[in-house]
Structure 1
Amino acid sequence: MRYMVASNNEFTGDIPRSLCNPRNLSFLDLSNNNFSGSVPRCLTSKSLTVLNLRDNNLERLPDIFYRSNSLKTLDVGHNHISGKLTRSLLNCTNLEVLNVESNRITDTFPFWLKALPNLQVIILRTNRFYGPISSPPNPLLFPKLHIIDISRNSFTGSLPPDYFVNWNASLVNIPQDHQRQPEYMGDSYSLGFQPSMYVANKGLHIKLEKILRTFGAIDFSGNRLEGQIPESIGLLKSLIVVDLSNNSFTGYIPSSLGKLINLESLDLSRNQLSGRIPQELATLTFLEYINISHNRLTGHIPQSTQIGGQSKSSFEGNVDLCGLPLHKDCFGERVPPTKTLTQHSEPRKQVLNWKAAAIGYAPGVLFGVAIGQMISLYKPVLFFKLFRL
């Protein structure tokens, strides 16, 4: 047996021991069931490529990956797994996707994962990870990483200015061949299996049924990160999604964000950022969503088609921010809607015109009547000739 697919059922209890020590099993999908207990130690093998156990009630993931150098995708998201992230993953030298979201894992940031040369997607969202995500002796260097989601944890500390300098080439270099057929992760997997993931994009929490190999995303939201956002983020020109919201970042919004020419979604809301919004953001032609609300920003909002099309809520909560789409000019006065001005001014204009006409018309009528009366009395013949009576 090479493929075992038993997803989307109502299986309960422990994962069957009959699946242990499979010699040729390369694909095991038990997702969306009600399995509980621990993942069996004997479950993995040298031939296993995909292990999908997400959306169950599993409580423990022991060190079982000592013989899993063929494993490319491990998804144990949405379980009840506690403890530390298993260090035996270091043996999975071909691992491309690691998804442990929505569990109860309590650990520090896994810097040791940088030893995996093929790792492209790391999803640690909604766990109990804590501590700094930067370590001066150990720069964050993943050779092929292009998606990292560590949101909704308890990471702390600040990011050094050069934090993104050593990140991989796939995020730095812009894909040149746009005519080529899109490549998705898992295209070469057995049974055509393609990993999926949830991502916060353009203000929505959506599911990517397939992960494009050129899709770049950083989500650090919902932590306790502080200090300035590193200018070096501008080096990652292939980024499509950046979410740093709900932290304690201070200082200015880095102008280098204007170099992210493929950026479609930017969320910096609910921090303590100050100063002006960089004019460079107005040059991002693909930017469909921006949210910088609830900060301490000041000055005029840069104007462009992309920024002008955003909702008012994307900028509110900044006391000294002015300009469209906020109805507040930069002199502290609220700009009334144009339609309201037209409605109020038109009736007043009509009243003034009638008054002017009346002032000019009345004396003329009286003067004409008086002259006509005099002519009819003293020169009746002339009066009859003029009016041909």
Structure 2
Amino acid sequence: MLTLFPGEIPTYLFTLPAMLQLELSSNQLSGPIQEFDTLYSHMIIVSLGQNQISGQIPGSFFQLTSLIDLDLSSNNLTAHSVCDASNLKVLDLSYNNFSGLIPSCLIEGRSLVVLNLRENHFKGTLSDNVSDHCNLQTIDLHGNNIQGQLPRSLSNCADLGILDIGNNRMVGTFPFWLGRLSDLRIIVLGSNLFYGSLTYPTRDRKSREYFSKLQIIDIASNNFSGNLDPQWFERLASMMAKFNDMGNILSHQSFYRDYHDTVAITYKGQYVTFEEVLTTLTAIDFSNNALEGDIPKSVGSLVSLHILNMSHNAFTGRIPPQIGEMRQLESLDLSWNKLSGEIPQELTDLTFLSTLGLCRNKLDGRIPQSRQFLTFENTSYEGNTGLCGPPLSKPCGDSSNRNEVQVNTSRDHVDIILFLFVGVGFGVGFTAGILMKWGKIGKWLRIA
């Protein structure tokens, strides 16, 4: 392994005796890559990521028959020809300026385990001829110009754990068939043109094995609509398990190094890239769609969930108090919906909650005044005309005055009752007096 300083790639590197690994990442290297000599035919790993290398990738790269791990990420490369690398396991071309169609060999082949083409300018559609012996475990195509539908033949990738096609132009209904992939942990479909209902198809409703390992799902900024099927939350077994803070890093082991998967999600209101993804990082982002109806109470069963974002939809009804059971929740965003009623007191049990969004709803009543709710600012609640109490300036009314009114009202009731009793007593006495008088008169008459 070689470590160099900033500058152009030294030409002598391409004439050195045979090496198995070339590690030049994060050195601010610039200039083009020269053709590799045949002395490098046994090269296993080439890592030139996070430099300033420009130009085309030499064709000799992909004629290295022993090459299994190629990292050219975060450079300024503009051309590619990769289909000759028949034994390649890891290909990372992310954060470059590649364009054109994605070579079908990358999707259809049998050797690749990691395909990372994130943040480039690839276009066109994805091949639907994925091999029956697909070995892909990570597919990251985030931030390109890919169109069309997600190939259903990806279901042949039985070991697929990460699928990120966010921020493209892909269309179609939600791919429920992905739920059959038992190792799938991360799905990112956000910022595309997906549409339709999120209700499980009839043929899939009886199966309880769908998405059992899923820990991150992002379908934000699409056109999903209709009511949210309660089964969405009832099937996420990995988020129902008792929280364990001893998570493992999602990675792929090669002969000489570990390739760590990354993911970018909205975390506490910020778009954050996690360079290392722990198996304990859990998130659900359904924001910016047209979902409506009640938020299913079954969401409360996700006791190990960290991030829940269902903002910018059309949800109605009350906030489920069952959310208070999600004790690991750090970020909750239900803003810009049509939720009504009071804020459940149970939400004060979320002692790890550091970000709360309830603004622009139809909530009313007093804002809870305990635990984490003492730390949230106006922005968490604004746009709910019925809410009152700190941190809002709108008071809920003086409780002492209400008590005084109640006491006075009670006294008035007592006075009225006493008056009635007095009146009744006076009437009874007056009547009795008359009767007694008439009694005496009658006695007198009988004597007479």
1:32 maps to which residue? 95
Equivalent residue letter for 1:77: H
In structure 1, list runs of 5 or more residues that go unmatched.
334-389
**Paired residue secondary structure (2:239):** helix
Decide whether aligned partners of structure 1 residues 202 and 99 sit closer, same or farther in structure 2, where only a CA change above 3 A counts: same
Q: Is the 8 A contact 2:212 2:235 kept in 1?
A: no
Q: How much does 1:42 deviate? A: 2.1
Q: How much does 1:247 deviate? A: 0.3
2:287 aligned to which of 213, 217, 221: 221
1:133 maps to which residue? 198
Equivalent residue letter for 1:200: T
1:337-376, Cα deviation, whole Å (9 max, x unpaired): xxxxxxxxxxxxxxxxxxxxxxxxxxxxxxxxxxxxxxxx
The answer to whether the aligner puts 1:154 opposite 2:223 as a matched pair is: yes
**Separation of aligned partners in 2, 1:9 and 1:203:** 29
1:155-174 to 2 correspondence within 5 Å? 155-168=224-237, 170-174=238-242
Q: How much does 1:21 deviate? A: 4.9
2:320 maps to which residue? 254
Query: What is the percent sequence identity of the aligned residues?
Result: 43
TM-score (norm 1): 0.80
Q: Is the 8 A contact 2:119 2:142 kept in 1?
A: yes
**Separation of aligned partners in 2, 1:3 and 1:160:** 42
Decide whether aligned partners of structure 1 residues 40 and 259 sit closer, same or farther in structure 2, where only a CA change above 3 A counts: same
1:103-252 to 2 correspondence within 5 Å? 103-137=168-202, 138-139=204-205, 141-168=210-237, 170-176=238-244, 178=245, 180=246, 182-186=247-251, 188=253, 191-252=257-318
**Separation of aligned partners in 1, 2:128 and 2:320:** 42
The answer to whether the aligner puts 1:6 opposite 2:56 as a matched pair is: no
**Paired residue secondary structure (2:264):** strand
**Separation of aligned partners in 2, 1:66 and 1:101:** 23
1:350 maps to which residue? none
Q: CA RMSD in A?
A: 1.8
1:186-210, Cα deviation, whole Å (9 max, x unpaired): 1646632211122112122211111
**Paired residue secondary structure (1:269):** coil
**Separation of aligned partners in 1, 2:324 and 2:91:** 44
Decide whether aligned partners of structure 1 residues 331 and 93 sit closer, same or farther in structure 2, where only a CA change above 3 A counts: same
1:80 aligned to which of 132, 142, 145: 145
Equivalent residue letter for 1:327: S
- Number of aligned residue pairs: give it: 326
Q: How much does 1:143 deviate? A: 1.9
Q: How much does 1:135 deviate? A: 2.4
**Separation of aligned partners in 1, 2:352 and 2:360:** 24
TM-score (norm 2): 0.70
**Separation of aligned partners in 1, 2:69 and 2:234:** 41
Q: How much does 1:254 deviate? A: 0.3
Decide whether aligned partners of structure 1 residues 319 and 332 sit closer, same or farther in structure 2, where only a CA change above 3 A counts: farther
Equivalent residue letter for 2:171: T
1:272 maps to which residue? 338
1:100-133, Cα deviation, whole Å (9 max, x unpaired): 0100001110111111111000000100000011
2:378 maps to which residue? 312
Q: Is the 8 A contact 2:106 2:115 kept in 1?
A: no
Q: Is the 8 A contact 2:243 2:303 kept in 1?
A: no
The answer to whether the aligner puts 1:65 opposite 2:143 as a matched pair is: no
Equivalent residue letter for 1:71: L
Q: How much does 1:65 deviate? A: 2.5
**Paired residue secondary structure (1:25):** coil
1:347-358 to 2 correspondence within 5 Å? none
1:208-261, Cα deviation, whole Å (9 max, x unpaired): 111110111100000000000000000111100000000000000000000001
**Separation of aligned partners in 2, 1:48 and 1:236:** 34
Decide whether aligned partners of structure 1 residues 280 and 189 sit closer, same or farther in structure 2, where only a CA change above 3 A counts: farther
In structure 2, list runs of 5 or more residues that go unmatched.
1-66, 400-448
**Separation of aligned partners in 1, 2:220 and 2:92:** 26
Q: How much does 1:63 deviate? A: 2.2
1:138-157, Cα deviation, whole Å (9 max, x unpaired): 34821211110000001001
Q: How much does 1:159 deviate? A: 1.4
Decide whether aligned partners of structure 1 residues 55 and 299 sit closer, same or farther in structure 2, where only a CA change above 3 A counts: same
Equivalent residue letter for 1:34: N
Equivalent residue letter for 2:98: F
Deviates more, 1:51-60 or 1:200-209: 200-209
Q: How much does 1:318 deviate? A: 0.1
Q: Is the 8 A contact 1:282 1:307 kept in 2?
A: yes
1:387 maps to which residue? none
2:390 maps to which residue? 324
Q: Is the 8 A contact 1:296 1:319 kept in 2?
A: yes
**Separation of aligned partners in 1, 2:398 and 2:222:** 39
Q: How much does 1:293 deviate? A: 0.3
